[in-house]
Amino acid sequence: MNDLFLKELKEAAGDAGIIENEPMMRHTTFRVGGPADYFTAPDLNRLPELLHVCKKHGAACFIIGNGSNLLVGDKGIRGLVIQISDKTGEVSINDGRLKAGAGMLLSKAANMAANAGLSGMEFAAGIPGTVGGAVVMNAGAYDGEIKDILSNVTVLDEDGKKRELSVEELELGYRRSCIAGRHYIVTEAEFLLKQGNCDEIFAKMEKFRGLRTGKQPLEYPSAGSTFKRPEGYFAGKLIMDAGLSGFRVGGAQVSEKHCGFIINKDGASAKDIATLMQEVSEKVERRFGVTLEPEVRMIGEF
């Protein structure tokens, strides 16, 4: 990209600035990923102008949250990466409705709901992503999903215009919504919760945290569940039954603690992880005739 593009990016980003050649391993829970040409974590009111500059110069623009469901290629990302960070995560609570900025960690929002005596977000206590990312993929755990508590969402469309969307308009399903396909950017979400007992709410959250700690390989970098749950099956069990527990490609490994997780066991590259995902998928399909669909979003050049 030319100097004019960079100059206009910096003007659009304001105080957040633009970082050139930013290693994406710093911004993903897998702890892998090459450099983004340009990176910024701006205030949300800067988004429309940043989108305009990218569109004007024909540059790619990628939106990320906490990087907890993301695999970035070793060769990095051409274009601009915009991180919707925690500093954009203001929260308000009124009459059972919790409104949170897209950058707020979902677990933090769940804790704030619990402190207010509001029930419904307990399942989200240990989910590592942001509110925006959770809405995009309809995140869920322990029989709870975002769609169960979501009231409405504010997004920016491709032209940087603000839109209010109802739950029905989001077309929420298992780990999916219409948001990515329509190139929307979530800026805020409102959740409708129920009044409950604080002690009971926190006890339930603590139970879920304990289950996570006991069953998931949280001691290693990963992106959580690597594959979506195939209808009628569990991805982790299929992988285990295929004899793939501990199976490795380079520094990437199928977790021996929970086969539904691929972990960065020992200095894995993004290529190691992507290759392991592909091999696991192929072996499971050959053995059981079931296709595993990645839950992890893959971007950049591998």
225 is catalytic: yes
Among 239, 212, 275, 282, residue whose Cα is nearest residue 32: 275
Q: How does DSSP classify residue 19?
A: E
H helical segments located in the chain: 3-13, 47-57, 106-115, 131-137, 146-149, 198-215, 235-241, 270-288
What one-character-per-residue DSSP string does 130-184 give? BHHHHHHHT-EETTEEHHHHEEEEEEE-TTS-EEEEETGGGT-BTTB-STTTTT-
Amino acid at 173: G
Per the annotation, the verdict on 182 as an active-site residue is no
Residues 281/239, Cβ–Cβ less than 8 Å: no
Query: Which residues are within 8 A (CB) of 211 and not within 5 positions of it... i.e. 6 or more apart?
Result: 142
As a whole number of angstroms, the distance between CA 97 and CA 84 comes to 22
Give DSSP secondary structure letters for 228-250: PPPTTS-HHHHHHHTT-TT-EET
Among 177, 225, 255, 281, the active-site one is 225
Burial class (CB in 10 A: 0-12, 13-18, 19+), 168: exposed
CB 51 within 8 A of CB 160: yes
Among 31, 78, 175, 248, the active-site one is 175
Q: Which two tokens stand for residue 286?
A: 């050959």
Of the candidates 222, 232, 207, the residue with the CA atom closest to the CA atom of residue 277: 222
Identified catalytic residue from 8, 122, 145, 295: 295
The reply to whether 175 belongs to the active site is: yes
**Residues labelled catalytic:** 175, 225, 295
